[in-house]
Amino acid sequence: MKARMDEVRAAAGGQLALPSVPRVVRRLISQLRDPGASVSDVVDELEQEPQLAARTLRIANSPYYCGRRSLASLKDAVAIVGTDTLRTLVISGGLEAVFVAVPGVNLRQFWLDATLTAKAARSLARLAGADAEAAFLAGLLHNVGHLILCQAFAGTLPARLAGARSVRGAELAALERAACGMDHAQVGAAWLDELGFPASVVDAVAHHLDAGPAAGTLAPLLALATQVAAAIEAGDNAQRALLKLDAGLLAAASLVAENLDARFGPQYEQIAAGGEP
């Protein structure tokens, strides 16, 4: 962990400062490594962070989770959304709050893309029999290194990207390396590693730009999810989007292209419409 951080900081020439996060978020991240953590442990942590607790209750009271019932307590909310999902929602909300303003970045669009990627990653992971909540977190945070770079290199990187607002993935990483000497996958993985995220999430973020059979299942799933998000933002329907998915990534993620039309197609349309898959 320390070696990864030292390498990134050295490459940045001392210019890179990684954001700090609230203590409760760090503690909830640590619980990702502890499957035995109880519901009461999660509630105790949430009660120390009123804004995150209120956000959790809003989500738990959404039609997707509780229908017409009205939940007033955190303990009821945890029971409805589940401990794993609750941790994911709280962690994602806490990390989003770290970035209030970033030079050259439309944060509303950034998090929209991140949320689409996260939902697609979770759906694809379920189809592949992989860890769906880890996939969701990796999808939500796969590009967060770009925000860190734009803050650290505010005098150079935003200007370099001024005429290329729509670039993403490997193309964006190439521009970042030219301006900063590193890319968002490296920086994001280093930050998530420092925060104590599970190795599966860190590795997926680190390798989603060059995902292959050796990268495990989550990295190619994440790479596929970024393609899905791009297709949604381009206005593609499910059929066109599925035709664009990289065959090599599908194979690496243990997904069969012929089965996706019926299994993932309806979920794609739901994600595109802003729903929960």
Q: Which residues does the chain have with pLDDT short of 50?
A: none
- 143 lies in the same domain as 277: yes
pLDDT at 58: 79
pLDDT at 60: 75
A 10 A CB-CB count for 181 gives 16
pLDDT at 217: 80
- 163 lies in the same domain as 30: no
Domain span including residue 91: 20-98
Enter the tokens of residue 54.
């209120």
Residue 74 and residue 54: Cα distance in Å, rounded?
9
- 50 lies in the same domain as 128: no
What predicted TM-score, i.e. pTM, was given to this entire model? Answer: 0.86
- 193 lies in the same domain as 109: yes
Inter-residue contact 164 to 158 (CB < 8 Å): no
pLDDT at 118: 93
- 79 lies in the same domain as 189: no
pLDDT at 122: 93
The Cα diameter of the chain in Å comes to: 54
Inter-residue contact 209 to 174 (CB < 8 Å): no
- 107 lies in the same domain as 222: yes
pLDDT at 19: 83
- 83 lies in the same domain as 207: no
In the chain, the number of structural domains is: 2
